[in-house]
Amino acid sequence: MAGRIEARLAELGLTLPEPASPAANYVPYLVARGLVFVSAQGPIWNGEPRYLGRIGAELSLEQGRAAAELTALNLVAQIKRACAGDLDRVRRIVRLGGFINATPTFSQLPQVMDGASDLMVRIFDGAGRHARFVLGAAALPLGLAVAIDAVADVGGR
């Protein structure tokens, strides 16, 4: 039986990608005291990197938002794995932290990051509203357009 959040994903026409394995010496997520700390994810669909390049040069603002949205789906996939498949355990998305691969003069970083933030609110409603930061970066691993990490409150168990 699908839970409330799984039903919401279906209603929105969203499918979660397969959670990515770490690319180096770290874990994809860590659960501590009812919080899930998700390592930075990127715009990757089932192992295939998408949205490569700098926003403001090779990629547009709209492509940057789409990259952030796809990255948010990867964050949710990791949170789902951390919750043994039960996304209804998510009490709140606490924080997102974003790095945007952008040209030095590109200043619409918050609008790019809104791709991820807006998706969290669409999926989790009020529980998807979160604190966040966003910074521009000169380069990101694999040439990805964005890298975003997350903290989610899933309660104690």
> What backbone phi and psi angles, to 5 degrees, belong to 152?
-125, 140
What digits encode the pLDDT tens for the residues 8-59? 999 999 999 999 888 899 999 999 999 999 999 999 999 999 999 999 999 9
Domain hosting 108: range is 4-14+27-153
Give me the DSSP letters along 131-157: EEEEEEES--GGGBSEEEEEEEE----
> What backbone phi and psi angles, to 5 degrees, belong to 121?
-70, -40
Does 22 reside within a domain?
no
Does 20 reside within a domain?
no
Find the angle CA(138)-CA(142)-CA(147) to the nearest 5 degrees. 65
Does 132 reside within a domain?
yes
Does 119 reside within a domain?
yes
What digits encode the pLDDT tens for the residues 58-115? 999 999 999 999 999 999 999 999 999 999 999 999 999 999 999 999 999 999 999 9
The reported pTM is: 0.96
Give me the DSSP letters along 69-98: HHHHHHHHHHHHHHTTT-GGG--EEEEEEE
Q: How many domains does the chain have?
A: 1
For residue 79, the domain's CATH number is 3.30.1330.40
